[in-house]
Amino acid sequence: MRRPFASLVGALRRGSTERAPAPASPAPAQPSAFELVEAFGDPVLVVRSGRIEAANEAARKLLGSHIVGEDVRIAIRHPAAAERLTSSAEMPGGDPIELVGLGGRDSRWQMNIAGLGDDRTLVHLVDRSEGHAAERMRVDFVANASHELRTPLAAILGYVETLDDDAALSDPATRKRFLRVIHDEAWRMHRLIEDLMSLSRIEAEKFRAPETAVDLGEVVREVHAVVRDAADPRSRDVVCDIDESLPPVAGDRAQLSQLLHNLVGNAMKYGRPGTPVTISTGRGPGSMIRLSVEDEGEGIAPEHLPRLTERFYRVDKERSRSVGGTGLGLAIVKHIVERHRGRLDIRSMPGKGTNISVLLPPARLS
């Protein structure tokens, strides 16, 4: 039971038991039980003889404005909750009850109950949906990471075992092909581990916003130079459109470079060969500074857009793996943007291409 709730229980119990004599002189008015309940931030109900006597605004918003006077078993449709609330009205106590689906299919609530005397019960509902979702994401992340690592590892082990065969060793072409697969899968594991470590470092710093002034144009030119010198034939398709009048942004230079490398790398992989990949900077809404990467690829269907920044989410799993994707690139981008207190905007039209824009706050100039 959380401390504010315990304080509310104490105040309501005192209000129901104290019968002080009338004071000789007027005293400051004490808040009524209903006022105390209404002021509480979480959903709170006062139940008397199985019916809801009072409900604060948060409870009415969750369960409906009509619930005052209603049977509590109808308002909170949960067998364990109904049994606890109706079996011992004076001192129900006991462990909190977990309610699933109250107010929404995926919602999770914890119900705390305390007896107030006078046949009244106080019910406190605590929203645990966010914590449950975070735990589910953690479990899914571990499972997905294990799967992503297991796949290349299984290939490496399989080819190593095959190389023990005398026939494979005696054929130079076969041996070379097997070693190439082992090399490629090992590098795939290396990239995945590097991305996992990078994501972990970014998340560890998410509450510490960067304050260094960074020239976004310089970052773009540096990334463009690295891409241009790469052996990838798509590197010559990358072009820049830099607004030289922009003020510096508040940023972490290394992370902004990583963000841009990820966006440009994706655009090169999924854009059509021979079509431009455009990196541009400009002014965004308000005082924000915009960094965009645009390609002329196949585009992305609307139903995939909300999930693109999820870890290991892929629109086309086979193609993503074939071009060396780890499934973490846009998740890293999202976390870098969040750490920079920026915004990420992804727009795409099937058959025409994708534009990903990052909006960053300007640096504070002393």
What is the token pair recorded at 290? Answer: 């915009």
pLDDT (0 to 100) of residue 256: 97
Q: Average pLDDT of 200-204?
A: 88
Report CA-CA distances (Å) from 8 to 97, 177, 234: 19, 72, 65
Least confident of 9-13, 92-96, 165-169, 274-278: 9-13
User: Strands 213-214, 249-250: parallel, antiparallel or unpaired by DSSP?
Assistant: antiparallel
Mean pLDDT of all residues in 324-351:
92
Kindly report the number of other CB atoms within 10 A of residue 96's CB atom.
14
Q: What is the pLDDT of residue 7?
A: 58
How many Å apart are CA 311 and CA 148, to the nearest integer?
11
Rounded CA-CA distance 198/208 in Å is 16
pTM: predicted TM-score of the whole model, two decimal places: 0.63
Per-residue pLDDT at 28: 47
Q: What is the DSSP letter of 87?
A: H
Give how far the C-alpha of residue 334 lies from the chain's centroid of Cα atoms, to the nearest Å. Answer: 9
Residues 166/167/172/173 CA torsion (nearest 10 deg): -140
Q: Which amino acid is at 12?
A: L
Note the pLDDT tens digit of each residue in 252-263: 999 999 999 999
The HSE-up count of residue 24 (CA atoms within 13 Å, CB side) is 0
Cβ neighbours around 360 below 10 Å, total = 25
What structural domains does the chain harbor? 33-127 (3.30.450.20), 209-365 (3.30.565.10)
What was the pLDDT predicted at 1?
A: 42
Mean pLDDT confidence for 165-182: 80
First to last CA, the chain: 47
Chain segment 38-85, per-residue pLDDT in tens = 777 889 888 888 888 889 888 998 888 898 999 888 888 777 777 777
| DSSP letters for 245-262 | TPPPEE--HHHHHHHHHH
Nearest CA-CA partner of 120 in 4, 11, 16: 16
Any idea which residue has 């916003």 for tokens?
209
